Amino acid sequence: MRRPSSSALLLLVPLLTLLTLLLPGPAVADERPADGPPWRWPLGSRQVTADFDLPDGPYRAGHRGVDLPGRAGEPVRSVAVGRVLFSGTVAGVGVVTVEHGAERSTYQPVVRRVVRAGDAVEAGDVLGRLDVAGSHCAGPCLHLGRLAGERYLDPRGRLTGASRFVLVDPDGPLPRPPAGTSGAAGGTGAWSRPVGGPVTSAYGMRVHPVTGVRTLHDGVDLGAACGTPVRAARAGTVRSVGDDGPYGLRVVVEHGQGVETGYAHLSATSVAPGARVTPRTVLGAVGSTGLSTGCHLHFMVTRRGEPVDPLR
């Protein structure tokens, strides 16, 4: 048997190291290691739009970090002093990983990265810029992760002052709306994710997993367990509720200016046509009705009857 050359071994070692860092480890309880210094916020805002939700298995749906709203091109900064372990792309999405002693922080999607593996960074040092492509939010957002070995931990345990709300002076001027409250779909008003799971199939052309036909996937699939509550992504009025062929059990909500959102493959619904909803109203529960291969939410946005990419 021919022995591998020394050059081949030199290439193999860093590749195995990278795979060890990036492949998902077992999802276990959020057991915080020894207390460390607090993390500073990697973006300008101090808001969390999607919480940490540890799945009950290594490949089950969940949310292994927190989502922080931001602006496209905004600087992404290191949360603490450390050393860059990885700076590159994974499945086309820009990712940076920084080691902070016993823990690691991860950032995605990040473009125009200015750090390389091995670089030392201080808290607040710029790692790159927030990207829009690769974001799984309705608007630009940073997915911040925290790991200790193979354990996924809640980043909010290190971030100080995490909040979903912004306090304003009741006698002062109204604040500017946060980034991402209006976009390609048109109109105004805050958007939020209807469920907290990851994007398992993006908007665009694909081969349908059931029919085998190459066609437009007119929304995004969000992985979540059957029975997970599905909430309205935006304030509006329920237009229709019921079985809708390949979409299965579906709810459609009107938001004005020709914009509608659809929530498909539901296992149950909890609203009726004509009902007014807010971004926290539960519309139903995740299911696998219609042409579906498993539990997930098919989330769709249309503008004047034409589908648009919900992630934009």
For 110-144, write each residue's pLDDT tens digit. Answer: 999 999 999 999 999 999 999 987 666 767 889 99
Do 129 and 171 touch, CB atoms closer than 8 A? no
The rounded percent of the chain whose pLDDT value lies above 70 is 70
The CATH superfamily label for domain 199-308 reads Glucose Permease (Domain IIA) (2.70.70.10)
| pLDDT-derived band at 206, boundaries 50, 70, 90 | low
Q: Which residues contact 247 (CB under 8 A, 6 or more apart)?
A: 262, 264, 265, 290, 291, 298
Q: Give residue 270's Cα distance to chain centre.
A: 25
Lowest mean pLDDT segment, chosen from 1-10, 85-94, 156-165, 264-273: 1-10
pLDDT tens digits for 52-105? 876 655 555 557 888 888 888 999 999 999 999 999 998 888 999 999 999 999
Lowest mean pLDDT segment, chosen from 72-76, 146-150, 207-211, 305-309: 207-211
pLDDT tens digits for 221-239? 888 899 999 999 999 999 9
* Domain covering 25-30+37-157 in this structure, CATH number: 2.70.70.10
Cα four-point dihedral sign 236, 242, 244, 246:
positive
- Domain locations along the chain: 25-30+37-157, 199-308
DSSP state of 55: -
| pLDDT-derived band at 21, boundaries 50, 70, 90 | very low
